[in-house]
Amino acid sequence: MTFELARFTSPIGEIVFAVRDGQVCALGFSEQVPRKRTFLERRFGRVEFHEVADPAGVVTRLRQYFAGDANALAAIAVDTGGTPFQQRVWEELRRIPAGQTVSYADLATKIGAPTAVRAVGAANGSNPVALIVPCHRVIGSNGQLTGYGGGIDRKRWLLAHESAQGELRVA
């Protein structure tokens, strides 16, 4: 399986992503590339990458997002794969508006599985397309920032960046 691969230098590090048929299948920071490649190989078998400048316009959208348009990533098409449960979690994550956060417990309730808080956390941690599926908008029930694959400092930066468009509030 061949993917279009692109890199984008952001204020919080290099972002690398893979696109197939106009949909982002993997996106993460450069240090996450080995893990993202393993994810793609498990899902698709042998993978090859062809570097291109702006597949599916994602570099343009990333540039807009980091320039201050907190909603620039919302229209990007994704192909996340995953289990039906993970897909429900990831779809609900995309419904969290920029500048808002939710707790893992609230997210579990929103998908109709209020006792599945740990499973929601696991799905959040398995998100193959960070930023576009905004897992950084999920916080602990006590309001504390909790795990993020890109690191807590990046999570803090992203939330501050998005809240610059309006006050950050817990949904």
pLDDT, tens digit, 9 for 90 and up, residues 24-76: 999 999 999 999 999 999 999 999 999 999 999 999 999 999 999 989 999 99
Beta bridge partners, 49, equal 3
Q: What is the mean pLDDT of residues 113-120?
A: 95
Active site annotation includes 25: no
The third-level CATH classification (topology) of the domain covering 84-170 is Arc Repressor Mutant, subunit A (1.10.10)
SS3 160: helix
Mean residue pLDDT of the chain comes to 92
Tell me the CA distances in angstroms from 77 to 29, 50, 55, 95, 145, one per residue in order: 19, 19, 11, 14, 27
- 76 burial via Cβ count (<10 Å: 0-12, 13-18, 19+): buried
pLDDT tens per residue across span 132-154: 999 999 998 888 888 888 889 99
**Residue from 15, 135, 138, 139 carrying the catalytic annotation:** 135
- pLDDT greater than 80 at residue 112: yes
Tokens of 113: 């599985």
Beta bridge partners, 78, equal 24
Amino acid (1-letter code) at residue 89: V
Specify the pLDDT at position 166.
Answer: 45
Specify the pLDDT at position 55.
Answer: 97
The domain spans of the chain are 2-66, 84-170
Compute the distance between CA of residue 96 and CA of residue 153 in angstroms, rounded to an integer.
20
